Structure 1
Amino acid sequence: MTVSKEKNKKTWMVDISNGLDNISGKRKRYRKKGFLSKQEAEKYEADFRVFELTKVRSNNKIDIAYLFSLMEQEDKISGKKVSYVITQRNNFYRYFEAYFSKADMKKLDYKDVINFREFLLTSPNRLGGKLSINTVNKQMILFKKILEVAVRRGIIASNPCKLVKKLPTPKKVMSYYTAEEFKEFLKLFTEEEYSYKLFFKLLFFTGMRLGEALALTWKDIDFIQGYIMVSKSIYYYKNEPYMGTPKNATSIRKIYIHQALIDELKEWREKQTFLLGKYEKDFEGIQIYQDSADSLTKYNIDNMKRNVDKRRGRGLKKIRIHDFRHSHASYLINNNIEPMKLSKRLGHASITTTLDTYSHLYPDTQRSVASIFDDFE
């Protein structure tokens, strides 16, 4: 018996046999003693077979947490970024853990996969609506990845997710502020809310992602050369912030800023030094928006954005925080910035991403292309 009670003791032991050694011909055995309960010993045996032997007995139930932990092990070995791991983990706990809490993943079939996708399609998002098709597709990609680990480990023979096609994603209408609309948005802040106003100015004038902007300190600003160095980003897991690298290698970049913004940042830095003199000594290392002992967080920004949105008049539309990045891109496109320059400024992985996202904002050049041949005859 693999799990048994130790002779003349109250503890349990695990004795696993794994066939014969190829060289010596002797039986391979793995033993461990001292478990306080049979349940603890059985769990160890199941874990050992999955993690060490990658061999599962037919009566061993495999839950999704095992498979997810295996997948995270592989991600760690391959050097996946902290932000990637955190996003993946958040999605697992939000969508997968409870749904599959009683499931035996060895018995999963195509119908189970489809049922899970239907569950996602009817699940609420954080704002009370339904999950977007794009979000559902992303979770199905994660599901496929989890089950691929099980296939590689010999836990299941095939991956039923491979039979499920990606749902078609409807084209979204991009929302952004024009220059005039952004000026109206800035008027909604009170004098006491200047640090938040400065934050949104940085988003609009640089096109930084939220996490990149939250990670900025004075060390990242070169006032002489006139640029911001983006080399890190803040991510959140279980409401706790973690510092990591930006989204991809090309996201590590210099963003040059205009003189008026440089002057405003210099003026704010002097005021910040006065405000925080009794709290801080290393002003180079503090977040540039701070006006108290605590730095701004994603949750502070979200709350302030909601409050400011309530002050909007009917003529000013509501946009998401990420849409300030789109507003930056739109403004530059309207001022004839080339796609390659825009791609580098935004930190896109490739110009393909830039064109896929913003090509509809560029003016139609087909008519001018045709006119090139007017003088041919």
Structure 2
Amino acid sequence: MPAYKDTQRNTWYCQFYYTDWKGDRRQKRKRGFIKKKDAQEFERMFLEQFSISPDITFETLIDKYYDNVRHRRKESTLYNLRGHIEKHYLPFFKKLKIDKITSAHIAKWQNSLILSNYKRSYIKTLTSQLSSIFEYAVRHCGLKENPCRNLDQLKDKGSKKFQIWTEQEFNEFYNLLSNPRQKIMFETLFYTGMRKGELMAINQDDLYYDQQNTCYMISITKTYSTVGNKKMITTPKTKKAVRDISIPDFLYFDLIAYIKRVPGMKSTDRIFPVNSTYLNDAMLSMYKKHPEIRQIKVHDLRHSHASMLIHMKVDIATLSYRLGHENISTTLDTYSHMYGNSQKSIADQLTIG
């Protein structure tokens, strides 16, 4: 790749032709490089961007992939993706040609994360995301095979199932709370199973009485999140997360009573204008004051709600809808162990006619 000296500016520049995504032949000129090799490197990287050959670096693949998804993903998703790229993918794969990356490379990368004491579940998430990047390369860059396929299964070493509270345990915790906002927030999480971000996004207009089903409801159409230092309200996690769920009468009246005590709150204002760490901090503070409380995480209130419904014999489809899962298989994968001897119970009830 030739580079040219700009004698007037005492810098280097490159000038070359390329074919754009429409198939048109164009000329590109870029000036201002201090070194000749920098101009040559720019030309190489630029041409790789328009290549559909697997003979490109992982760094170039990442640029292509990110440019493809940046208008299709939520800002919070892109923020997390960018963080994973900079922290976990580029340091290991940056200069490797994608057609030279094998499953052995991926396994070695996974091992480096294990040695850095990352949780196996987190490494699985990173690997799944990396696999999506290579799938893009298979579809659009001529890569023959996704190197993330056929990996040995990464088992969760010593992983623990989530913790839950019974209704009695929750009430013991609830009765120890003195802060009205904390009380109603924890109560809503336990008796609805909604996600923390969904709770922090609701307003009074989301509460209504359903005449047909003769019960009070909460309409979940948004979620609150923090992206870097930016706080925002966006659409929920998935399309199925947009839902209307029934709530007990006492919860509805507790919510209304709380709203009436907040001066100047409009119907469109967030009922709980707090940040994402508010409930975590509140729960940790309670554990310090009351070490007798069995410790769970805020998200475990969602699992506690699911457990309560399972014990009430609520069918799996209804539970899946209420939790806002994308599909029933997610619900089954998460809570199948809670069904206990249900398979045996079915078998015992079947008789030969």
TM bucket (normalised to shorter chain) is: 0.7 to 0.9
Query: Letter of the aligned partner of 1:133 in structure 2?
Result: R
Report how far residue 43 of structure 1 moved.
5.1
Task: Tell me, yes or no, if the aligned pair for 1:250 and 1:348 is still in contact at 8 Å.
Answer: yes
- The count of corresponding residues between Structure 1 and Structure 2 is 342
Identify which of 245, 249, 256 aligns with 1:259.
249
Match of 1:69 in 2: 63
Deviation at residue 345 of structure 1 after TM alignment: 0.9
Out of 159, 165, 170, which is 1:182 matched to? 170
The 2-side partners of 1:47 and 1:301 are apart by 47
Residue 345 of structure 1 is matched in structure 2 by 322
Taking structure 2 as the reference length, what is the TM-score of the superposition? 0.83
- Contact kept, 8 Å, 1:269 with 1:288, in 2: the verdict is yes
Tell me the distance in 2 between the aligned counterparts of 1:326 and 1:178. Answer: 10
Return the alpha-carbon distance in structure 2 between the equivalents of residues 236 and 258 of structure 1. 30
Amino acid in structure 2 at the alignment position of 1:357 = T
The amino acid of 1:310's aligned partner reads K
Aligned to 1:236: 226
**Aligned pairs (5 A) from 1:1-377:** 1-6=1-6, 8-17=8-17, 30-38=27-35, 41-42=39-40, 44-54=42-52, 62=57, 64=59, 66-76=60-70, 79-100=72-93, 103-106=95-98, 108-124=101-117, 131-150=118-137, 154=141, 158-169=145-156, 172-190=160-178, 193-222=179-208, 226-273=216-263, 277=264, 283-289=266-272, 295-314=273-292, 316-362=293-339, 364-365=341-342, 366-367=344-345, 369-373=347-351, 376=353
Task: Report the TM-score when normalising by structure 1.
Answer: 0.78
**Counterpart-to-counterpart distance in 2, 1:341 and 1:224:** 17
Asked whether the equivalents of residues 50 and 56 of structure 1 are also in contact (C-alpha less than 8 Å), the reply is no
8 Å CA contact retained: 1:207, 1:326: yes
Name structure 1 gaps, 5 residues minimum.
Answer: 125-130, 290-294
State the shift of 1:206 in Å. 0.6
**Secondary structure, aligned partner of 1:205:** helix
Query: What is residue 292 of structure 1 aligned with on the other side?
Result: none
**For residue 277 of structure 2, what is the amino acid of its counterpart?**
Y
User: What's the secondary structure of 2:297's corresponding residue?
Assistant: coil
Describe the SS at the equivalent of 1:5: strand
Q: Which moved more, 1:48-57 or 1:335-344?
A: 48-57
CA deviations on 1:53-105 (whole Å, 9 max, x unpaired) are: 45698xx8x463x432321222236x23444433333333443344556x445
Per the TM alignment, residue 40 of structure 1 is displaced from its structure 2 partner at its CA by 6.0
Partner of 1:234: helix, strand, or coil?
A: strand
Letter of the 1:312 counterpart: H
Q: What letter is aligned with 1:49?
A: L
Residues 98 and 241 of structure 1: CA distance in aligned 2, closer, same or farther (over 3 Å): farther
The one-letter amino acid of 2:12's match is W
**Aligned mates of 2:40, 2:184 — CA distance in 1:** 57
Name the aligned partner's letter for residue 236 of structure 2: P
**Counterpart AA for 1:175:** Q
Please give the secondary structure, in 2, of the residue aligned with 1:283: coil
Paired letter, 1:287: R
Greater alpha carbon shift after TM alignment, 298-307 vs 30-39: 30-39
Deviation at 1:163, TM superposition (A): 4.8
Shift of 1:35: 2.8
Q: Distance in 1 between matches of 2:2 and 2:221?
A: 52
Q: 1:111 to 1:356 in 2, by over 3 A?
A: closer
Task: Give 1:146 deviation, angstroms.
Answer: 2.9
The question of whether the paired residues in 2 share the 8 Å contact of 1:17 and 1:29 is answered with yes
The 10-residue stretch of structure 1 (80-89 or 301-310) with the greater mean CA deviation from structure 2: 80-89
The alpha-carbon deviation at position 50 of structure 1 amounts to: 2.3
Q: Give, in whole Å, the separation in 2 of the partners of 1:82 and 1:360.
A: 35
Q: Is the 8 A contact 1:49 1:55 kept in 2?
A: no
Between the aligned partners of 1:241 and 1:40, the Cα distance in structure 2 is 39
- Cα RMSD over matched residues? 3.2
Q: Secondary structure at the match of 2:163?
A: coil
Gaps of 5+ in 2: none
Report if aligned partners of 2:14, 2:30 keep a CA contact under 8 Å in 1.
Answer: yes
